[in-house]
Structure 1
Amino acid sequence: MAEATMRDGQVRLTSLAHGGGCGCKIAPSVLSRILSNARNFPAPPALLVGIETSDDAAVYRLNDTQALVATTDFFMPVVDDPFDFGRIAATNAISDVYAMGGTPILALALVGMPVDKLAPEVIGKILEGGEAVCAQAGIAIGGGHTIDSVEPIYGLVVMGLVHPDRIKRNKDARAGDVLILGKPLGVGVYSAAIKQDMLGEPGYREMIANTTRLNTPGKRLGDMAEVHAMTDVTGFGLLGHLLELCRGSQLGATIDMASVPLLPDVAALAGRGAVTGASRRNWASYGHEVALSPSISEVQQSLLTDPQTSGGLLVSCAPGAVNEVLALFRREGFAHAAVIGQMEAGEVRVSVV
């Protein structure tokens, strides 16, 4: 287990949190029970997307050509470097706007810090990391809110704009659509490996590159009519977020495990025990809706449920659009983007072969 302090005498950020990144999410089954009554709350006609289909953000119509995309995301540290933590948290929060096909326009910071344990300079570095990513996305942080909390928490409220006719909802996937994943899986495994001192410097660099890459293709994917649905893969793992597409669209899906992109050495690390508790909670929540081929190993199952912090876009598109979608990902630096399966008519269920 990693020591509570680093070489420079600073407290390890990860030692102050019971969980990290999107692995902090409440388990899907528990969240469903919590929100069961809220889904019956009456919504105004202008609210185009609410919580009913577990989409990534709320969308509110402003006029015939503009709708406001509103989302928030925050979590506890997934790494010890404060600047990197801020960058990862901001990238993750902004991703929800891209996942709806929108363009981010403004952010607000959410900051909860144990001020008796962290120096103001360390907290400042976290905020600087978030500001750096927002500058990269072309948006300002216009304010926010801070509290003194037991565990360090950082994230953003993010607002964006999208044309009302170009929103990419979970419910709009179609039978026969091809599934494309924009980033490799394994961030949860890497974060567990950090806590167990199992992740070397090359792995850490790979993790930071992956989690701080903005999902900018979402803006252009929103303009493509043959892209029918889109989400980003975060705390519920690939299976959990694909199931949200299936439930919203009332379809099934099949994943080809051999085609799913993975971060380097992630299977070996998982095999050595670098698996998060969130991965197990995820499987306990929705495993009954998944059919695994006998060839799928326990390690592969854990990768499919691995909580992704600032994970990739999951795109459901017509077969004829596959080359265009992959080319877009490649142009914007997503070298691991790959076709991983398809949507199918039938029972709401994910099959993995």
Structure 2
Amino acid sequence: MTAASIEPRLTSLSHGGGCGCKIAPGVLAEILRGTSALPMPPELMVGIETADDAAVYRLNDEQALIATTDFFMPIVDDPYEFGRIAATNALSDVYAMGGTPIMALALVGMPINVLSTATIGRILEGGASVCRAAGIPIAGGHTIDSVEAIYGLVALGLVHPDRVRRNADAQVGDVLVLGKPLGVGVMSAALKKGALDAPGYADMIASTTRLNTPGPALAALPGVHALTDVTGFGLAGHALEMARGAGHDLLIDWSLVPLLPGVRARASAGFVTGASGRNWAAYGAQVSLPAAFEAADQALLSDPQTSGGLLVSCAADAVTDVLAIFKAQGFDAAAVIGQVAARQDDQPRLRLV
């Protein structure tokens, strides 16, 4: 009997897959309470104060170091594709700060009495293939024997200090552009229940393994004020982080938001993740919805995105250039989805129009 015939499905070994594994926003805020009081060196350009995508440390007048890490349990059963998705997701935070990756370290936790060395090797091969595509080495890492399969990267990158783009600098009048369609969490829920067809699976893999390489070119545009990537907290959660950091409201026209093919019908059929509900419980009170907003749309708004797209806040006269950068690098679904507006209440909100 071959190893493949006796090994369990990778997704059966995880209590939650991909960025759906993230600790819920409200719980995370409670855990992190008080940590911002720790002393920070003046060279630290970006730390934990804005819930940004990565830390940034100024090295000199020309270079700043971006440091981040991301890892999770399987979102798909194919070990090679799991490795690709996890690595793509980890490198995204470097691109989201406007930087270029320079190297990575692997983080590997595997149930070695359950999975074969061949399967574990394929996970690592998948991650290595993405790093080769990004032009960087995996220069080391750490492994442990774990109950659940866990894989990810520590990712390091470089950026000019003047081109660091935080999630907190959106300006009133800015236009919002989203680089990838939503729906990865819904697709993963359908996959886990055996209800995702081959075209849907192909769409999911294509989205989650597309590196967010437009980041540096976007950051080089003077009109781009803020950048982030949409991951485990869903579009609503990461848009709210942008709103809180800037102190403004974000307005999103839901009719303009790109979705993966067939994903709304799947959400309507009940293929949603538990993380979507936990996300909404954490921040739904800070989101204003139209009166007729349907449950499936709400689920997609808070749907956890694994290796999701870049969310850009830019001046209106920069939109053409922003979209051109996305399209030139193969992000054909990139679209204008809203704008930044003056705050109407005592706290920033996300408002759907």
TM-score (norm 1): 0.98
What secondary structure is seen at the aligned counterpart in 2 of 1:171?
A: coil
CA distance in 2, matches of 1:278, 1:99: 23
Amino acid at match of 1:86: G
Which blocks of at least 5 consecutive residues in structure 1 are unaligned? Answer: none
| 1:9 Cα offset (Å) | 4.0
Is residue 83 of structure 2 the alignment partner of residue 86 of structure 1? yes
Deviations 1:279-327 (Å, cap 9, x if unpaired)? 0000000001000001211100000000000000000000000011001
Amino acid at match of 2:169: D
Deviations 1:53-106 (A, max 9, x none): 010000000001100000000000000000000000000000000000000001
1:176 is aligned to 173
Does the 8 A contact of 1:176 with 1:343 survive in 2? yes
Q: Is 1:65 equivalent to 2:62 in the alignment?
A: yes
Q: 2:275 corresponds to which residue?
A: 278
Q: Does 1:249 align with 2:239?
A: no
1:140 to 118, 137, 142: 137
The answer to whether the 8 Å contact 1:290/1:351 transfers is yes
Match in the other structure for 2:325: 328
SS at match of 1:26: coil
In 2, the alpha carbon distance for the partners of 1:301 and 1:176 equals 25
Counterpart residue number, 2:107: 110
Matches within 5 A, 1:1-353: 8-346=5-343, 347=345, 348-353=348-353
Query: For 2:74, what is the secondary structure of its paired residue?
Result: coil
Q: What's the CA shift for 1:40?
A: 1.2
Q: Report if aligned partners of 2:181, 2:258 keep a CA contact under 8 Å in 1.
A: yes
Distance 1:90 1:7 in 2: 23
Amino acid at match of 1:171: A
If the length of structure 2 is used for normalisation, what is the TM-score? Answer: 0.98
Quote the Cα distance in structure 2 between the aligned partners of 1:9 and 1:183. 37
Q: CA deviation at 1:7?
A: 8.0
CA displacement, residues 113-132 of structure 1 (integer Å, 9 cap, x when unaligned): 00000000000000000000
Secondary structure class of the residue paired with 1:185: coil
Query: What amino acid is aligned across from residue 304 of structure 1 in structure 2?
Result: L
The code of the aligned residue for 2:174 comes to D
CA contact (8 A) 1:6 1:12 kept: no
What secondary structure sits across from 1:231 in the alignment? strand
Return closer, same or farther for 1:337/1:6 CA change in 2, 3 Å cut-off. Answer: farther
Q: CA contact under 8 A between 2:7 and 2:114: conserved in structure 1?
A: no
Residue type at the aligned position of 1:148:
D
Cα distance in structure 1, aligned partners of 2:168 and 2:263: 32
Q: 2:273 & 2:157 partners in 1: Cα distance?
A: 32
| % identical equivalent positions | 66
Which one-letter code corresponds to 1:266 in the other structure?
A: V
Q: Kindly provide the amino acid, as one letter, of the partner of residue 271 in structure 1.
A: S
Provide the rounded CA distance (Å) in 2 between the counterparts of 1:37 and 1:185. Answer: 33
* SS of 1:128 mapped into structure 2: helix
Q: Tell whether the 8 Å contact from 1:46 to 1:62 is kept in structure 2 after alignment.
A: yes
SS of the counterpart of 2:168? helix
Q: Shift of the alpha carbon at 1:139?
A: 0.4
Distance in 2 between the 1:195 and 1:92 partners? 20
- The structure 1 segments of at least 4 consecutive aligned residues displaced by more than 6 Å after TM superposition are none
The answer to whether the 8 A contact 2:109-2:151 is kept is: yes
